[in-house]
Amino acid sequence: MGLGVTDIASLGTILGVWAHPDDETFCMGGLMALAAANGQTVVCITATKGEAGSQDATRWPLDTLGGTRAIELTTALQILGAKHHHWLRHADGDCSHATDEAALAELMPLVEKYQPDTIITFPPDGLTGHEDHKAVCHWAGLIAAAAKKPPQVYYAVNTTDEASYLKELDDKFNFFFNLDQPVLHDKATCDMVLDLPPEIFDKKYRAFQVMPSQYENLLQSYPKDYLAHAFGRESYILASKFK
């Protein structure tokens, strides 16, 4: 279904569970901005600082990349209006090695603190096939099952309407690097579809701009209106209904 302000308000307190800085902006930047504007509590958890891969090791060397991406994320969240952010202490690429017990011990204090009504995370395939993405999806299921007040868990997905844009971006930038091709869902099968109003996509775009270590090449390669078609829709499927 399409989402309006009232629908977003019904999501209550929203918790995003992500692996790397920029996952949250890519998957729910618009949703965060709209929910924050509603006065809802928006919480973002980031498992790693994304220090393992640089687009340009001369400009963003690996030994300082984690710190750079942490600063970028702080600025992006300020633009999007998300006031609550927590780092976990996992190494980039190492999330799948955490035991369920360790993940629960780390995450449940935050769940108990914020009492989320809604959790947003990656689908089981990680959206791109990244093992860290798959791990945080699993953790989201664990904490939802363990919560005293069970939240609804939604997976961020891509729809078939975006296929041509995503294919071009994948061919150029290898977005879906661990998958032969992106998994796409029919819009009608999604539980929430948010087509971002121009002023909200503008916030998401500005969040991309303050993450040059990840998005500079993309933003230099395509005009803003093209990227609005590629990233101006945010779609979600309930974990309980996901196939």
The Cα–Cα gap between 120 and 53 comes to: 24
pLDDT digits (tens, 9 = 90+) for 21-46: 999 999 999 999 999 999 999 999 99
* Contact predicate 131/169, CB 8 Å: no
pLDDT above 80: residue 198: yes
Q: What does the pLDDT read at residue 171?
A: 79
The Cα–Cα gap between 41 and 163 comes to: 32
pLDDT above 80: residue 20: yes
pLDDT digits (tens, 9 = 90+) for 173-185: 777 656 777 788 9
Question: Mean of the per-residue pLDDT values for the chain?
Answer: 92
Q: What does the pLDDT read at residue 178?
A: 63
pLDDT above 80: residue 223: yes
Tell me the two tokens of residue 77. 């969240």
pLDDT digits (tens, 9 = 90+) for 150-197: 999 999 999 998 878 877 877 787 776 567 777 889 999 999 999 999
- Give the pLDDT band (50/70/90) at residue 3: low
The Cα–Cα gap between 173 and 113 comes to: 38
Q: What does the pLDDT read at residue 57?
A: 75
The CATH number of whichever domain residue 74 belongs to comes to: 3.40.50.10320
The Cα–Cα gap between 19 and 132 comes to: 6
Count of the separate structural domains present in the chain: 1
Tokens 């017990």, residue located: 101
Tell me the two tokens of residue 30. 């618009």
Q: What does the pLDDT read at residue 22?
A: 95
pLDDT above 70: residue 13: yes
By C-alpha distance, which of 167, 121, 128, 165 is closest to 144?
A: 121
Q: What angle do CA 49, 232, 136 make, to 5 degrees?
A: 35
- Phi then psi for residue 32, to 5 deg, are -60, -45
Of 167 and 19, which is predicted with more confidence? 19
Tell me the two tokens of residue 217. 């090449």
DSSP assigned state of 97: G
The Cα–Cα gap between 200 and 214 comes to: 20
The Cα–Cα gap between 72 and 76 comes to: 6
% of residues, the chain, pLDDT over 70? 95
Q: What does the pLDDT read at residue 1?
A: 52
Name the H helices within the chain: 5-9, 23-37, 62-80, 100-114, 131-146, 163-173, 198-209, 212-221, 224-231
Tell me the two tokens of residue 172. 């150029």
pTM, to two decimals: 0.94
Tell me the two tokens of residue 134. 């798959």
